[in-house]
Amino acid sequence: MGLSIGIDVGGTKIAAGVVGADGKIGARAQRDTPADSTDETAQAICDAAAELIKEHEVEAVGIGAAGFVSSDRSTVLFAPNLAWRDEPLGRRVSEVLKVPVVVENDANAAAWGEFAFGAAKNVEHMVCVTVGTGIGGGVVIEGELLRGAHGVAAELGHMRVVPGGHRCGCGGRGCWEQYASGRALVREARAQAESGSLAAAQMLSVCGITDSAELTGPMITEAAAAGDPCAVELLDDLGRWLGEGLASIATLFDPSTIVIGGGVSAAKELLLKSAQVAFEKNLPAKANRPHPSFGLAELGNDAGIIGAADLARRPAGR
Amino acid sequence: MALTQALTIGIDIGGTKVAAGVVDPEGNILDRLRRDTPTKDPRETEDAIAEIVHDLESRHDVIAVGIGAAGFVDGTRSSVLFAPHLAWRHEPLRDAVERRLGLPVVVENDANAAAWSEWRFGGGQGESHLVCVTLGTGIGGAILNDGALQRGKFGIAGEFGHMQVVPGGHRCECGNRGCWEQYASGNALTREARELALSGSPVAHNLLRAADGDPRKINGPMVTELAKDGDPVAVELLEDVGRWLGIGLANLAAALDPGTFVIGGGVSDAGELLLAPAREAFKRTLTGRGFRPEARIVRAVLGPEAGMVGAADLAREEATWLRRVRVKTTAVTAKTAARSGRSTRLERAARKSVGRRTGMRTAAPDPERELQDETEV
Ligand SMILES: [Zn+2]
Ligand SMILES: [Zn+2]
């Protein structure tokens, strides 16, 4: 296998990299994600890839995008944060670049990256959750990515965990990602600050801000790392929701390894510990079954690029 | 007799009954037997299995036995790790029964066995991405991708009933709270109906009358019968269960994205009284609805014997495969190998590959090829 390009299309940035057969990223290129034009987004993706293709011989391009991707890996059916509806992204980009292009769900790409080169190398049954603003899921069964009948499997963040709970962008209520994501962390932190809690006021001062509207996930993580009790508690709660949800997911797929990645996983042990405790506690019939291992992702923000590039080299995406 | 015409026995071990049948390759049941599950003792259950098989064997020429059991069956499909209604803990059921019967034996989770038969002969035929949900006292589940049962790493995938749907909800025998099967199963239907009757509400009048005035005698089939007769309260009770069913199915669709859901088990006897509200709730809960293709929700067609038929058919798959391999290599017959309780390396390899075929993958390694590999060593 030769070189391929992986492209991670995020809400603000388009990050591309040339990836070798060893899963290592060589050259990189980056563009801002255009605000709401699908044409401009496709153009920016082409620009980033073309910049790399100029200098490198690549055999394929893989694009990881948030949203529902058709099972033939060419069309974005629906993207929550971009204006894509039935967008033939793969064909459009391929026509410009003159190389084969596949489109993958971004969380699937990240899961594949961790499976092929990261925290779950050679693990045949794994579940990877990417905890960022929302929660993305990727599932590997018997060494193959789970795609489902229509290509939209492993939308784990939109499993309902609270009847009549918080509204979600997917149109539902009480989705898991409303409780165990970066967005949930910030929402809860702000709510606590607005409630007038002294502990939250202290957290704001540790973060160096006075207005709770300025709070961000990384700020809370930093405050927790510095030992702020309010921030520690907030991450603890998040971890509990994460672990409880993962226990349900383990009953479906029976994986041997669960990997937690994404921006929020930067909190490491502050998140992982409570997640693992909740997971072990909530695993059904826990005394009478093997328990999967539980760990942090290893590839960081590059998982999506590496995974998309590697999947692009595999004809069936396996 | 061509092997493809051979008969096998399927056995469904429930908490109170052992049901067995002789099944032909088209999934027809030619003969049936039923026994009470003697005790919870594993040895006595083995005795009961052996008795039943000998009885059926005296009238039919069978080549293998498949056992479907409620519980966690390990990844090699030889041991029952845990059975909620029986005293099995890491019980090496397959080898024990094989030794006694001198026939190849397959052990399978009961919901997996039922799903397999729905895929082969029932409501899931031709579906490449099938999810089966069996609504009995609890909820059993199974995933079939391209005709391959998905068992997970340790053999216990598809335990949908214990997915949490209500934080801090009803207690479940698995040790947790708020499991799906506490809301969308026969037990849930019965619990809600009894609670309503106990509340003394006049709307439960018909229910109470059907149960001779004793709320504790109310059961699921009673509710279903009343609902079919148009009793509005019974219809509502089934609607509630159906709604929870649809909500859970939407979760499964988010995670698994199947083309078809097949709904079986005793509660599914209610038919559209259950499935219509389930579809409605599914459509209202499904993530990204309106922007994605949606799975069909259909009723299972094989009824309560699906598990028995599926276990028998899985046993045929494996036995046919083992014989093809054995006939060509060694003089070890199925019976002596099984009696000795040992299996050759080749058998283990064949078992593994057929396990994958009926389990993990569609494409099995070519038997001839496997033979070569073995002789070369
Ligand atoms: Zn959602
Ligand atoms: Zn449970």
Task: Please tell me if residue A70 touches chain B, with a CB cutoff of 8 Å.
Answer: no
Q: Which of residues 316-375 of B touch A (CB under 8 A)?
A: 360-361
- Is there a single domain that holds both residue B106 and residue B133? no
Asked if B153 and A249 come within 8 Å (Cβ–Cβ), the reply is no
Asked if B162 and A77 come within 8 Å (Cβ–Cβ), the reply is no
- Is there a single domain that holds both residue B108 and residue B253? no
Of A240, A237, A259, give the one whose Cα is nearest residue A250. Answer: A259
Residue B337 contacts residue B322 (beta carbons within 8 Å) = no
- Which of the 8 DSSP states describes residue B332? -
- pLDDT value for B356: 46
Task: Please tell me if residue A85 touches chain B, with a CB cutoff of 8 Å.
Answer: yes
- pLDDT value for B311: 97
Last-in-domain residue among B253, B280, B301: B301
- Token pair, residue B179, equals 């499991």
CA angle A252, A255, A260 (to 5 degrees): 100
Find the CB nearest B254 among A155, A253, A287.
Answer: A155
Which of A72, A105, A160 to probe by mutation at the B interface, max B CB count within 10 Å?
Answer: A160
- Is there a single domain that holds both residue B10 and residue B71? yes
Residue B304, exposed/middle/buried by CB under 10 A (0-12, 13-18, 19+)? middle
Residue A288 has pLDDT above 80, yes or no: yes
Which stretch of A71-85, A207-221, B119-133, B217-231 has the lowest confidence by average pLDDT? A71-85
- Token pair, residue A238, equals 């998040």
Chain B: nearest CA to A52, how far in angstroms? 34
B177 found inside a domain? yes
- Report the C-alpha gap between B37 and B227 in whole angstroms: 32
- pLDDT value for A155: 96
- Token pair, residue A127, equals 């579940």
- Is there a single domain that holds both residue B283 and residue B170? yes
In CATH, A121-297 is 3.10.560.10: no
- Report the C-alpha gap between A317 and A60 in whole angstroms: 12
Find the CB nearest B82 among A147, A171, A285.
Answer: A285
Asked if A252 and B157 come within 8 Å (Cβ–Cβ), the reply is yes
SS3 state at B149: strand
Pairing of strands A76-78, A85-87: antiparallel
Residue B133 contacts residue B261 (beta carbons within 8 Å) = yes
Q: Which of residues 280-299 of A touch B (CB under 8 A)?
A: 282, 284-290, 292
Q: Which residue of A has its CA nearest to B166?
A: A162
Task: Please tell me if residue A50 touches chain B, with a CB cutoff of 8 Å.
Answer: no
Asked if A158 and B254 come within 8 Å (Cβ–Cβ), the reply is yes
Residue A126 contacts residue A120 (beta carbons within 8 Å) = yes
Distance A107 CA to ligand 1 centre (A): 15
Last-in-domain residue among B277, B301, B325: B301
- pLDDT value for B41: 80
DSSP string, B275-310: HHHHHHHHHHH-TTTTSS---EEEE-SSGGGHHHHH
- Is there a single domain that holds both residue B297 and residue B327? no
Find the CB nearest A68 among B151, B155, B291.
Answer: B291
B278 found inside a domain? yes
Residue A36 has pLDDT above 80, yes or no: no
- Report the C-alpha gap between A203 and B230 in whole angstroms: 60
- Is there a single domain that holds both residue B367 and residue B289? no
- Report the C-alpha gap between A77 and A85 in whole angstroms: 5
Q: pLDDT (tens digit, 9 = 90+) per residue, A236-280?
A: 999 999 999 999 999 999 999 999 999 999 999 999 999 999 999
Q: For residue B290, which residues of chain A lie inside 8 Å, CB to CB?
A: 171
**Which residues are A188's β-sheet partners?**
none
Mean pLDDT of A34-38: 81
Identical fold for domains A3-112+302-312 and A121-297, yes or no, is yes
Q: For residue A251, which residues of chain B lie inside 8 Å, CB to CB?
A: 159-160, 162-163
- Which of the 8 DSSP states describes residue B204? G
- Report the C-alpha gap between A182 and A134 in whole angstroms: 7
Long-range contacts of A80-83 (CB under 8 A, 24+ apart): A80/A134, A80/A169, A80/A170, A81/A11, A82/A9, A82/A11, A82/A33, A82/A36, A82/A38, A82/A41, A83/A36, A83/A37, A83/A38
Q: For residue A175, which residues of chain B lie inside 8 Å, CB to CB?
A: 287
Find the CB nearest A282 among B141, B156, B176.
Answer: B176
Of B43, B2, B5, give the one whose Cα is nearest residue B22. Answer: B5
Kindly report the number of other CB atoms within 10 A of residue B5's CB atom.
9
**pTM for the whole structure:** 0.89
- Is there a single domain that holds both residue B269 and residue B319? no
Chain B: nearest CA to A27, how far in angstroms? 35
Mean pLDDT of A275-287: 94
Task: Please tell me if residue A246 touches chain B, with a CB cutoff of 8 Å.
Answer: no
Could you state, in chain order, the average pLDDT of each consecutive group of 10 residues for chain B (377 residues)?
77 88 97 84 88 95 94 89 80 92 95 97 96 95 95 95 96 93 97 95 93 95 97 97 98 98 96 98 94 95 95 92 61 40 43 45 36 34
Residue type, B60: H
Q: Which of residues 125-184 of B touch A (CB under 8 A)?
A: 128-129, 141, 143, 145, 150-160, 162-167, 172, 174-176, 179
B119 found inside a domain? no
- Report the C-alpha gap between B162 and A285 in whole angstroms: 9
Q: pLDDT (tens digit, 9 = 90+) per residue, A97-138?
A: 999 999 999 999 999 999 999 999 989 999 999 999 999 999
Q: For residue A256, which residues of chain B lie inside 8 Å, CB to CB?
A: 153-154
Asked if B252 and A146 come within 8 Å (Cβ–Cβ), the reply is no
- Which of the 8 DSSP states describes residue A301? G
Residue A160 contacts residue B251 (beta carbons within 8 Å) = yes
Domain ranges within chain A, ordered by starting residue: 3-112+302-312, 121-297
- Report the C-alpha gap between B180 and B257 in whole angstroms: 18
Structural domains of chain B, count: 2
Range(s) of the domain holding residue B358: 3-114+305-374
- Is there a single domain that holds both residue B184 and residue B73? no
DSSP H or E stretch at residue A296: strand A293-296
Chain B: nearest CA to A170, how far in angstroms? 5
- Is there a single domain that holds both residue B150 and residue B297? yes
Residue A252 contacts residue A245 (beta carbons within 8 Å) = no
Asked if B159 and A124 come within 8 Å (Cβ–Cβ), the reply is no
Last-in-domain residue among B259, B282, B301: B301
Q: What are the Cα distances from residue B292, in Å, to A11, A65, A160, A170, B270?
A: 21, 16, 18, 11, 29
Residue type, B213: G
- Is there a single domain that holds both residue B28 and residue B55? yes
- What residue ranges in chain B does DSSP mark as E strands? 7-13, 17-23, 29-36, 62-69, 72-73, 80-82, 89-91, 105-109, 129-135, 139-145, 148-149, 260-264, 296-299
Task: Please tell me if residue A152 touches chain B, with a CB cutoff of 8 Å.
Answer: yes
Q: pLDDT (tens digit, 9 = 90+) per residue, A225-236?
A: 999 999 999 999
Contacts of A87 (CB under 8 A, 6+ apart): A38, A42, A75, A76, A79
Q: Could you give the strand order of the β-sheet that contains B80-82, starting from the edge strand earlier in sequence?
A: B72-73, B80-82, B89-91
B120 found inside a domain? no
Q: Could you give the strand order of the β-sheet that contains B105-109, starting from the edge strand earlier in sequence?
A: B29-36, B17-23, B7-13, B62-69, B105-109
Give the CATH number for residue B17: 3.30.420.40
Q: What is the CA radius of gyration of chain B?
A: 22
Chain B: nearest CA to A49, how far in angstroms? 29
Asked if A244 and B167 come within 8 Å (Cβ–Cβ), the reply is yes
- Which of the 8 DSSP states describes residue B366? P
- Is there a single domain that holds both residue B81 and residue B180? no
Q: pLDDT (tens digit, 9 = 90+) per residue, A154-195?
A: 999 999 999 999 999 888 999 999 999 999 999 999 999 999
Residue B18 contacts residue B86 (beta carbons within 8 Å) = no
- Report the C-alpha gap between A97 and A299 in whole angstroms: 27
- Is there a single domain that holds both residue B290 and residue B195? yes
Asked if A149 and B295 come within 8 Å (Cβ–Cβ), the reply is yes
Of B111, B99, B100, B12, give the one whose Cα is nearest residue B50. Answer: B100
- Which residue's structure tokens are 């967008």? A87
Asked if A252 and B295 come within 8 Å (Cβ–Cβ), the reply is no
A3-112+302-312: CATH topology: Nucleotidyltransferase; domain 5 (3.30.420)
Distance B97 CA to ligand 1 centre (A): 48
Of B2, B7, B1, give the one whose Cα is nearest residue B312. Answer: B7
- Report the C-alpha gap between A222 and A210 in whole angstroms: 16
Task: Please tell me if residue B19 touches chain A, with a CB cutoff of 8 Å.
Answer: no
Task: Please tell me if residue A164 touches chain B, with a CB cutoff of 8 Å.
Answer: no
Residue A15 contacts residue A25 (beta carbons within 8 Å) = no
